[in-house]
Structure 1
Amino acid sequence: MVINFQSVLIFSTILRVLLILYGDWQDSHMEVRYTDVDYLVFSDAATLMSSGESPFKRTTYRYSPLLAFLLIPNAVFHYSWGKYLFSAADLLVGYFIRSILKLRGVPEKICTYCMMAWLFNPFTFTIGTRGNCEPLVCAVILWIITCIMRGKVYQAAIWYGLIVHFRIYPIIYALPIILVLDPRFIQSGQKPMLVNWSSHQEKSPQCLDDTDPSSWTVLASFFSGTRILFGLISGAVFLGFTGLFYYLYGWEFLHEALLYHLTRTDPRHNFSIYFYHIYLHYEHELSILEKLVSFLPQFTVQLVLMFIYALDLPFCFLVQTVAFVAFNKVITAQYFVWFFSLIPVVLPWSKMKMKWEGLSCIVIWMGTQLHWLMWGYLLEFKGKNVFLPLWIASLLFLAANCYVLIMMIRCHRYSPIFQRLSTTLKDSKGRLKVK
């Protein structure tokens, strides 16, 4: 069988349809369900909305009403509608991975293999078929990158405002997007000039420093029309949807869909190093100092990564996401899909060898996660008092995430997505030319 874009997409589609059908059978015939418990929550909220009631009447529904609206066909058409929708978004992620790499001049064969790294990842092809909504978020994030690379900044702004409303965590990408919209790289009315992948195979990162200024330098000309309009449009979309649903559902919407995620604490099902402290103080409000201590490491790491790698936007998104998840107060397995969707779009710029560095990253990350799950199983299913060993396992998992992050950075070839517009001239017809 020839490995090409069409065959990979067809096989991926068939695989996901079969998994959804199998999941329906397992739910009906086995004690352990294939369907994600969150999908039950989404479906119940959609049923409430279809009957004219608030989706927030469903306990633990803490998402935008947009999600319940998208799943109304679950109640009126077929219960597995949402799984097919999320799996379609999953396939769309693969398509956008290929689109981004093609725009950057990556050869077709490498594009196909990078796309397969997402489509045939067991973690990712099961998450959509089990009914988790994260592929929708991943697809929109990659589409935003695509729009920016094509110079469709205002379209990107609309989608960015929408996705931050839908799932609050993409707010961390705001500053890198603003920084990459540098007028020295993008000129109004002109398609941005992309840096070709092949040029970076012949240059080391040091060779690029004289032509590609760091994001610290970009701050000197921070305020520009494009940046201001991006902020205004994305902000208006976010506030528009938020205002609409506040009008429809009141304070309950604000608290459950937005504010809850800013203050969320979870003493169980949580890979975070903060879970043990949260468990010990679960019935007491965390002090301002405690909240600040947990927030500062995350904020500091994010800030450093933003300013160093913002111009290399896909890689910046990747390392930001890994760091955000690793240092968050709450970490669940579904969060990992956020950065799994970004890894393929930076693979062609990685010098990491699979035999040693790559294998060590996989073994250490998976090993520490399985170690945590062993203690988590003893706590959740056997009722053992293993909170201290579980906390130590969380520390090891944080160390593993930091190791993987450092290895990604060390092995990455820094590659700004846009060429610097050093000189502009006009031809005989008055059109802009870039030198």
Structure 2
Amino acid sequence: MVINFGLVLIFSTILRVLLILYGDWQDTHMEVRYTDVDYLVFSDAANLIFSGESPFKRTTYRYSPLLAFLLIPNAILHRSWGKYLFSAADLLVGYLIRTILKLRGVPEKICTYCVMAWLFNPFTFTIGTRGNCEPIVCAVILWVLTCIMRGKVYQAAVWYGLIVHFRIYPIIYALPIVLVLDRQYIKSGQKPMLVKWSSHQGNSNQCLGDTYPKSSWSVLASIFSGTRILFGLMSGAVFLGFTGLFYYLYGWEYLHEALLYHLTRTDPRHNFSIYFYHIYLHYEQELSILEKLASFLPQFAVQLVLMFNYALDLPFCFLVQTVAFVAFNKVITAQYFVWFFCLIPIVLPWSKMKLKWEGVICILVWMGIQLNWLMWGYLLEFKGKNVLLPLWGASLLFMAANCYVLIVIIRCHRYSSIFQHLNSSSKERLKVK
């Protein structure tokens, strides 16, 4: 039975509209609010811009002013405008997941199931309706991937520069994108040949050590190709252009709150990160810049290994990079999980993982240890009990769970470069059609 994609999209839209309407009712009639506290911050910042003031007058607003500009209709039309905008981006993510999979030759039935893995994930369909902006980031990241796969490299560069300005974390994708923009795969005026999904089925014994890493490292030999240089210049120009504009409008306050703060952030509040307890214990002391940046070292090392080993399989590289980035980050909140949730569906068709065993085990381990953390967080936050040490232990377990899931994902993946060599013989090209 093939499920109609249009019906899936319609039902997903209705579900999100109903949740937004329900959220408005709950906020009015119940003590516990449905709306994310961040949405209130975004809305206040938008009101400040509408009044001609700086959005950074709103305490804890540490985002690009572009987000506040997008939410100005909150002050003009309706306070839920942003929720509808974020939910529309959420639906767009589903559409782009299908687009990417269709470009790679995945059958319609599998495409629809992968889209449903995003659209009907309780975590993802609530995050936009509660007023979190992450679906916009996810949609643009997938659009960048789509542009690269279609050979529209410079269009991808513009959107990539914009999204790095909007939310700094996608900077981690810069090197994999540069590595995959090799002249063997993408040349000006020539459309890249995509390796189709069907060409790798039945090759379940394919191993990373066969040929994949060699081709990934070898692309460094032509690192200064014209396509790569132009991509870097265009994306950098867009990033610096928006940064310069908002620096002109809001000065040093913008640079500190929206950019520099995230590099040296020391948040003493409890969160999923293993670093929170150390920061909590030393919060009254002035940490040196070196201490603040030290947590980036393991994160940076892991990123380098993943980039150089998996860059040619770009969607998969994005996924494992993001999982590792979140797991090793100084601060981890639940909204960060959506960063890799949107990437899972575009690699599912290449996974050898069976839901009955590895899949269920991964889900149970990840969710079970997260629930363990939430229990200790509840006792601390709502019951006022001194459980900081057990909470830190739960964070260590959560870190271990993320690493375990990452390893299983890597072991169960069928590695496949997204592009075929442009200079391949016609016989070789026919094999991937």
Same fold (TM over 0.5): yes
Q: Are residue 111 (structure 1) and residue 114 (structure 2) matched?
A: no
Q: How does 1:117-132 map to 2 (within 5 A)?
A: 117-132=117-132
**Matching residue of 1:315:** 316
The answer (yes or no) to whether the contact 2:264–2:293 under 8 Å persists in 1 is no
> Distance between the aligned counterparts of 2:408 and 2:212, measured in 1?
25
**Matching residue of 1:431:** none
Pairwise CA RMSD of aligned residues?
1.7
**Matching residue of 1:91:** 91
The answer (yes or no) to whether the contact 1:269–1:332 under 8 Å persists in 2 is no
Equivalent AA in structure 2 for residue 96 of structure 1: L
TM-score (normalised: structure 1):
0.95
Q: 1:293 deviation in Å?
A: 3.6
Q: Are residue 235 (structure 1) and residue 236 (structure 2) matched?
A: yes
User: Helix, strand or coil for the counterpart of 2:193?
Assistant: coil
Equivalent AA in structure 1 for residue 125 of structure 2: F
Q: How does 1:337-376 map to 2 (within 5 A)?
A: 337-376=338-377
Moved more, 318-327 or 180-189: 180-189
The answer (yes or no) to whether the contact 1:162–1:234 under 8 Å persists in 2 is yes
User: Helix, strand or coil for the counterpart of 2:384?
Assistant: coil
Q: 1:421 deviation in Å?
A: 2.6
The answer (yes or no) to whether the contact 2:265–2:292 under 8 Å persists in 1 is no
The answer (yes or no) to whether the contact 1:104–1:195 under 8 Å persists in 2 is yes
Moved more, 185-194 or 338-347: 185-194
Moved more, 237-246 or 286-295: 286-295
> Distance between the aligned counterparts of 1:409 and 1:247, measured in 2?
45
Cα 1:197–1:8 change in 2 (3 A) is same
User: Helix, strand or coil for the counterpart of 2:187?
Assistant: coil
> Distance between the aligned counterparts of 1:292 and 1:242, measured in 2?
23
Q: 1:211 deviation in Å?
A: 8.1
Q: How does 1:31-430 map to 2 (within 5 A)?
A: 31-203=31-203, 204-206=205-207, 209-210=210-211, 213-423=214-424
The answer (yes or no) to whether the contact 2:83–2:129 under 8 Å persists in 1 is yes
> Distance between the aligned counterparts of 2:68 and 2:423, measured in 1?
49
Structure 2: which 5+ residue stretches go unaligned? 427-433
> Distance between the aligned counterparts of 2:258 and 2:208, measured in 1?
46
> Distance between the aligned counterparts of 2:176 and 2:49, measured in 1?
36
The answer (yes or no) to whether the contact 2:376–2:390 under 8 Å persists in 1 is yes
> Distance between the aligned counterparts of 2:32 and 2:393, measured in 1?
29
Moved more, 266-275 or 70-79: 266-275
> Distance between the aligned counterparts of 1:421 and 1:207, measured in 2?
22
User: Helix, strand or coil for the counterpart of 1:264?
Assistant: coil
Equivalent AA in structure 2 for residue 237 of structure 1: V
The answer (yes or no) to whether the contact 2:273–2:331 under 8 Å persists in 1 is yes
> Distance between the aligned counterparts of 1:335 and 1:287, measured in 2?
27
Deviations 1:73-102 (A, max 9, x none): 000001000000000000000000000000
Q: 1:7 deviation in Å?
A: 0.5
Cα 1:127–1:380 change in 2 (3 A) is same
Identity in percent:
86
The answer (yes or no) to whether the contact 1:313–1:416 under 8 Å persists in 2 is yes
The answer (yes or no) to whether the contact 2:151–2:191 under 8 Å persists in 1 is yes
The answer (yes or no) to whether the contact 1:212–1:420 under 8 Å persists in 2 is no
User: Helix, strand or coil for the counterpart of 1:97?
Assistant: helix
> Distance between the aligned counterparts of 2:423 and 2:373, measured in 1?
51
The answer (yes or no) to whether the contact 2:264–2:289 under 8 Å persists in 1 is no
Equivalent AA in structure 2 for residue 282 of structure 1: Y
The answer (yes or no) to whether the contact 1:157–1:234 under 8 Å persists in 2 is yes
Equivalent AA in structure 1 for residue 385 of structure 2: K
> Distance between the aligned counterparts of 1:207 and 1:366, measured in 2?
29
> Distance between the aligned counterparts of 1:285 and 1:238, measured in 2?
32
> Distance between the aligned counterparts of 1:272 and 1:211, measured in 2?
33
> Distance between the aligned counterparts of 2:382 and 2:231, measured in 1?
49
The answer (yes or no) to whether the contact 1:214–1:307 under 8 Å persists in 2 is no
**Matching residue of 2:3:** 3
User: Helix, strand or coil for the counterpart of 1:35?
Assistant: coil
Cα 1:295–1:211 change in 2 (3 A) is closer
Q: 1:197 deviation in Å?
A: 0.3
Deviations 1:137-190 (A, max 9, x none): 000000000000000000000000000000000000000000000101112110
The answer (yes or no) to whether the contact 1:158–1:237 under 8 Å persists in 2 is yes
> Distance between the aligned counterparts of 1:60 and 1:291, measured in 2?
19
> Distance between the aligned counterparts of 1:265 and 1:94, measured in 2?
35
> Distance between the aligned counterparts of 1:25 and 1:293, measured in 2?
45
Q: 1:295 deviation in Å?
A: 1.6
The answer (yes or no) to whether the contact 2:12–2:120 under 8 Å persists in 1 is yes
Cα 1:208–1:107 change in 2 (3 A) is farther
> Distance between the aligned counterparts of 2:425 and 2:48, measured in 1?
58
Cα 1:424–1:349 change in 2 (3 A) is closer
TM-score (normalised: structure 2):
0.96
> Distance between the aligned counterparts of 1:187 and 1:208, measured in 2?
28
Detail structure 1 runs of 4+ shifted over 6 Å in the superposition: none
User: Helix, strand or coil for the counterpart of 2:295?
Assistant: helix
> Distance between the aligned counterparts of 2:331 and 2:289, measured in 1?
18
Q: 1:284 deviation in Å?
A: 1.8
> Distance between the aligned counterparts of 2:424 and 2:290, measured in 1?
50
The answer (yes or no) to whether the contact 2:213–2:310 under 8 Å persists in 1 is no
Q: 1:214 deviation in Å?
A: 2.8
Q: 1:222 deviation in Å?
A: 1.0
Cα 1:346–1:90 change in 2 (3 A) is same
Name the count of aligned residue pairs: 426
Q: 1:294 deviation in Å?
A: 1.6
User: Helix, strand or coil for the counterpart of 1:259?
Assistant: helix
> Distance between the aligned counterparts of 1:166 and 1:212, measured in 2?
32
Structure 1: which 5+ residue stretches go unaligned? 426-435
